[in-house]
Amino acid sequence: MLQFQWSDCILWRFLAMRQEFGKEKAKRTELIKRAADLARMGYSDTAIGRQLGIHRTTAKRYRQIGEKGAIAREARVRVMQDTLSKHFADLRQTCERLRKQLVLIEPDEAVIEDLHVPRQLIAGRVLVLSIEKMRVQVQRLVIQDELLFKSLKQHTKYSTVWALFQKWKNELGTYISSLSLFHRLLAEETRNRTGLEIIESGESQGVTPHFAGTIYKQACSYAFNEREAIGLGWKIGKLGDDLFMLRFDGYEIAFHQGKEILEKCCQIHREMMKHYSERATRSKELRQAVGARSSLEEMEGKMDLELQKFMLKGVFPGHCDLCPD
């Protein structure tokens, strides 16, 4: 029992000493701060000592400690300001890079031949795509410095731009899917109607990818109100003793030994060109692409405006993983 009481006494004395030490430390810290403040006001060490009720040499020591601490604090503040200023500049550059990504993909760049396997699409930017049941989904944009892109999202997580960004990716997937399916439809119809296989130029008898490609190009041009003129027309020429070639607008679109076969191909090409270029007979795939493109243009305008606001303000709210501590 006595041993227990003795232990309690030691503990009490330790806590009392610790409390007293804390008071002394707080008092000394306050004196150091006041000494530095008085020195900045022009007081001498002797005057500081009289003001604080301490010896002149003690006042001098406290003043020096306070001034060193103030210099260190100011240096830390300057470093933090410089670091944060550079961080915000990096975020503004990230906004600009994202703005450059938010532009329409031209129809020629949007065609995916194999709608079965995930891939990357490089069309003025890099898109990571997933494909399921011949439908494309844009998973993400590959943007220079992914960490800064993540940082931008953390700083602006309450902005409407990110909900729009997700809708934009979904609509872009629809746009790519629709144009790819339209191109696929034209290739299949070309094979079925001509009875010829699609070959590379000059390999053997057959139609080249330009047969469906030129129809696709003009149909998209008309659908998106660009009305690109095609003026060279069709021409059948002889390549050798037993091979003829059909050209359209400078493109080689078919090869065959029988000139009459190429005349038939020419007629089929004319009919398909006319059919898919007219609004009334436009395919559903191309109509879907037109609707998706209109939505994309509207969303891109809204996102661009928000990103410009971030850049003009120059500072970003909140905190991110890259912010200086």
Per-residue pLDDT reduced to its tens digit, 283-296:
999 999 999 999 99
Looking at residue 268, its pLDDT comes to 97
How far is Cα of residue 157 from the mean position of the Cα atoms in its chain? 15
What lies within 8 Å, CB to CB, of 236 at 6+ separation is 244, 245, 246, 247, 259, 262, 263, 266
CA distances from 268 to 61, 68, 84, 218, 254 (A): 99, 88, 65, 15, 12
- State the average pLDDT over residues 225-234: 69
Please say if the pLDDT value at position 18 is more than 80. Answer: no
Domain boundaries in the chain? Answer: 2-81, 145-313
3-state secondary structure of 210: helix
Residue 136 burial (C-beta neighbours within 10 Å; 0-12, 13-18, 19+)? buried
The two tokens of residue 222 are: 């008309």
Which of the residue ranges 26-30, 73-77, 110-114, 140-144 has the most confident prediction, judged by mean pLDDT? 110-114
Looking at residue 283, its pLDDT comes to 96
Per-residue pLDDT reduced to its tens digit, 252-292:
999 999 999 999 999 999 999 999 999 999 999 999 999 99
What lies within 8 Å, CB to CB, of 23 at 6+ separation is none
Per-residue pLDDT reduced to its tens digit, 20-64:
655 677 777 777 778 777 777 777 878 878 887 888 888 788 777
Q: Contact, 214 vs 251, CB < 8 A? A: yes
CA gap 292, 304 in Å, rounded = 18
CA gap 58, 39 in Å, rounded = 14
How far is Cα of residue 71 from the mean position of the Cα atoms in its chain? 42
Residue 286 burial (C-beta neighbours within 10 Å; 0-12, 13-18, 19+)? buried
Looking at residue 38, its pLDDT comes to 79
In the chain, which residue ranges form alpha helices assigned H by DSSP?
Answer: 2-40, 45-52, 56-101, 107-110, 146-155, 161-194, 209-223, 259-277, 284-313
Q: Contact, 235 vs 253, CB < 8 A? A: no
CA gap 124, 228 in Å, rounded = 22
The two tokens of residue 101 are: 């990504």
Residue type, 187: A
- pTM value? 0.76
- State the average pLDDT over residues 64-72: 70
